[in-house]
Structures are given as C-alpha cells and as structure tokens.
Chains A and B, each alone.
Chain A
Amino acid sequence: MLDDKDILNIYREGGKEDYAFNLIVRKYSERLYWHIRKLVGSHEEANDLLQDTLVKIWKYLPDFREESKLYTWLYRIATNETLTFLKKERLKNFLSLTDYETSVSNKLESDVYFNGDKIQAELHKAIHLLPPKQRAVFNLKYFEEMKYEEIADILGGTVGSLKASYHHAYTKIQKRLEEID
C-alpha cells in the first residue's frame, strides 16, 4: 500500500484527483469508521458520519498543506464531524427530557451489531456517558493507543489538559465497572 506522501503526490499530479482520493478512502475508511463507531455506538449513525467525513475530506483536500500528518488531519475531520453530531444529540435528549443514561443503555442493548459480553457492554455504556470531547480523548488513548501529542494534533489543546481529561474519563469508567457484580 502506498504511503501518505505518495498518495498526496499523485493527488497533486493533476487529473488524478479521483484516483488519489480513492486510495485515501481505501486506506483510511475502515480506521475512521471504527473511530466514529466507538464514539457514536450505532452503525447507521457511524455510516452517515463516515460518508460526511469523506465528502469533507474530498472538499478540503486541495487546501491541505501537510502542516500535520495526513492521518491526523483525517482523524481531525472525522472527530469534528462526530463531536458536532454528539453535541446535537445531547441537546435533543436534554430538550426531550429523556433520561440520557437510560437512552444510552437501551440503544446499546437493542443494537444488533453489538456482540460484546456484559463487561464490554458496561464499558461502552460508561464511555457513552462521558462528555463528547472526553469520550474522544479516552477512545483515542485507550483503544487507538495514540500519543498525547497526536491527540493534541487531532483535538487541539495542550498535552497536559488532555492527560487530565483522560484521567477524569478513566476514573469515571473504572468506578462504574467496579460497581457491577
């Protein structure tokens, strides 16, 4: 598989934009999908957000100046799309006076594409109860094992603030998991 530099060179050759973009989609759509999916939970929402993300990547690719790595730039777009969606969802839940915890729990239990056991279900319920940005920090560090510098490049903020955010998230989840039998 071509590395990011080669793909960007093909993109800038002229007349090969579609081909280069398809290479990016093939290389990164799966990673971006799972990043989005772990943030939102449902496949349908993750699918819509992935497509919106890829459309935005196509739209803004001509302006990409390689000031950051391609994959952190792609993650930044995917994360921003998802966080915007999650904020709207939270507001909708707040306005409809639905109990957010119950709603998260029901959503995960009724998801036909969730095959985890009890402790995995509890972990993902706990993740979904975190504020959206804290959730993103936790997922990028815990599941993707990214460095704080890379997370800072995706989400913004300082390494120190991201470490604090991860610590808060980690402690909350840990406490919740300890409560289950």
Chain B
Amino acid sequence: MLNNYPLLTIMIFLPLAGCLLLLSLWNRTSFARSVAFGVAAVELVLAGWLYGAWRGLEAVPTKLSGYLLLEDATWIPAFGIRYTLGLDGISLLMVMLTAFTFCVALAVSWHAIKERVVLFLTLMLIMESGIMGVFLSLDLALFYLFWEIMLIPMFFLIGVWGHGRKIYSTIKFFLFTMFGSLLMLLAIITLHLLYAKQSGVATFGLPELLHTQLPFNAQLWLFAAFFVAFAIKFPLFPLHTWLPDAHTDAPTAGSVILAGLLLKTGSYGLIRFGYPLFPLAAHAITPLFYTLALLGIFYASLIAFAQDDMKRLIAYSSIGHMGYVAIGIAAWDPVALSGSIVQMANHGVTTGALFCMIGMLDERAHTREIAAFGGLWGKMPLWSFFFLIFSLTSLGLPGLNSFVGEFLILAGTIHKSPVVVVLSFIGIILPLIYMVRLLQEVLFQKERKPLLLADLQLREVAILSALLLLDLWVGVHPAPLLDMIHLPVQLLTGGMP
C-alpha cells in the first residue's frame, strides 16, 4: 500500500519544493521561518510514519532483500545512471535522524539568525534534501550527486553566518571534502567501467555493482579512494583537521548539522558502499582502520583537554566519539556494527544537543570561553541541568543512549580484537577528565566574570527536552531501533538473518 506512493522521492524533494515557496516570501521573515519549520516538521512526521510502518513494510518483500521501499526510474541512460532509491532499516534510522536534526537546527536558530533569514532557511532546506538523498540513494552516481550537493549550502552557512575565521574554515572544509570526493568519483567511474566490461551492462546501481569480480589489487586502490572520501567526513585522524575549525566557526545550526548529519554520511557511506563493494580490501586494512580510530580517540581527547573554547572542546570530543563508531565498523561484526549504527544516531543527538546548548549560552554571554563562566548552576539552573545530563550522556553513563552504542561496539569487537577493546576502554576514561573539568569550571566554580545571564526560554526548553527524551528512550529501551536495523546488519555482515 505504502509502496504505491513515491514516498522516498517525496522525502527528498519536499524540502526543495519548500525552497521555491520560501523564495516567494523574500521579505516576510517571520512567516518564512514558520514555513521552513513546517516543511521540516512534515518531513519529521513522514519519517515517523515510516518508522511506525516499517514492520508492515518488512512483511512485503521487495526486489532487494532487506529493503523496505524501493524506487527506480531511468534518468541518464547515456551513462547508465538510474534514479534508484532504497530504504532499509539503516537508512530509515538515518532519515529519522535527519528529519529530527533539521527540526532542531531550525528551531534553535529561530532568533539567532537575524540577517538574510530567508536565504538561510532556503539553504537549510536544500541541505536537508541533499542529506536525505545521500541516505536514500542506491545508485552510486546519484549518491555522489547528493553527496556534493549537500556541501554547497554548508559552505554558505559557515561562510555567511559563521563567526571568527569563517572564510578560512569554510574553504578548508570544502577543499578537504572535495579532495576525497573527487578521488571517490574516479573510483566510482572505474568500478562502473569494470563492471560494464565484465557483464556488458553499463550501470551505477549498487545491487549490480556488488557482483563485480575484482582482483585484490584493484579492490585495494578503489577502496582506498572511497575510504579517503569517507574518512575525511568521518573524520578520522589525521584527516580531521577541518572539523574543529568548521565546527567552531559555524553558526549553531551549522554545527548541529555538521556533527549530527554530515559526519554520519561518512560512516554511512562506509557501511553502505565501502565495505560491501570491496570486502577483501576492507578486511585487509582493518588493522590500519583500528589504529587510526584509536589514535583519533586518544589524540582528540588530549587536545580537547587543552581547549579554552567550549565549542572547540565539544568538536574535538566529537572526533573522539566518532572513533568508536569507526571501531565498530572496522570489526564488521553484527553486534559491533549495530552498535556503530545506533551510536551514529546517538552521537548525532547528544553532540547536537551540546552544540545547541553552547549556542544558547553564546547568544546570551557573547563568549564561549570556559574561563569566562563559573557558577552557572546558580544563575541558569535549567541550562545547567540540561548541560549536565547531556555531558553525562556523552560520557556514556548507563541508562542514557551513548552507553548502549559504546557497549555494543565493544562487546562485538572483543571477539575480533581484544587488544583494541582494552585500549578503547582506556580511551573511554579520557573524556571523563575533560568533561568533568568543563562541568566543574562552568557550572560549579565560583562566578568569574559578572555576566547577566537569563535562563532558558520555553522554546529552548522544548528543544532540549525533545533531545533529552530521545536520549533517554534509546538509553532505556533501544530494542525497537536494534530490531529495525537487525536484518540489514545481518545481510551486510553475511550472517544468517
């Protein structure tokens, strides 16, 4: 029944259609805000509806096992590019995360963005389309197209509404990503040509390309290109240097989307395309992947400890947390991979929440320097309460969501590589040091500068409560999400469903 409607196309192109509407509201900023938020909310409702319906959809098998919805149409037959979209449990989780994050990002920038509001909203909606497309494409050329499209709005978001060295940061962000993407483009075309040579069919479709017979050497080169592209987005040490700059200088909404979604496109790409397409090469580089992930965890934690700027600190902690996602993918074990996927969503919610909160503080105090604050527990009790909870979440406190993800990742990896797990346990301690220091200095220490700070408003409390509820829900009862991704994960890791 559901499959009769092009739901996935609607999910992708509804925000773009919203843009056209926004362009006609160029001078009516407050109405435009509501329209943009309305579009994002409709997306969220659609995503929620899909979530409610996924069991029913699973009962009706599609052409590809594991997929709940498929859409397919010819697009550019001259190149063999098709418009193929597919939704499985993993993409559904990512789609839900995307729809939710955009609602948060739009809500949080309601008052923070005062200049060129309609342009800002337009770019946000274009980006939502792009990211949805990335998570739903099953044609490599289409995927690449969306992958690049989502960059342009972010480039403007940081460059126009950012602070500090925004131009430097945004160009660095764009060039880093382009470097990886262009290599990946060559690899995609090469893969397409190899498959065309073997089977006589010119296609970029993932399901077909999975059957390409590749010698190990070719796999290694092609995988290397994919890996670099995804590792930059991830970001994996030592390709992470764009992230702290981009995060710090982006407006709050930009940081929330960067942390919540753009980083996830890297790990998603690796799970969806990199590993399945080049299994031998992926297996061969596992030790390297582990090493880089661990180095990232330790390195980022140590650097985070030395930060004066709260936003930069969270940005570095973000690199560390993504290291665990990397370990789960590297292990390529059903349990660890489920953990990684859940952790992708968790990290999006939690880090997104922390960036929101720092944004709220910044709006009031016009500084993010840790040394400027102190004693906020007394002055801003609500803010402090949320900040404490989200910090504890990001530290992996049991009962909250990050614990679930990290636990699964480590539990799944321990069969494969005990050494890595032992080292990552040490890595878990490190965030404790810098987060506790942050909490102590900002919340509990004596007031250091006389700042007039008002506590949270209703809108802000509502945003944070929504985020907190999600954290709690996943922390206490992750089973529905795990069920949802169970089948695709089993299919990916080659186990029995």
| Same complex origin of A and B | no
Please report A residues at the B interface, Cβ cutoff 8 Å: none
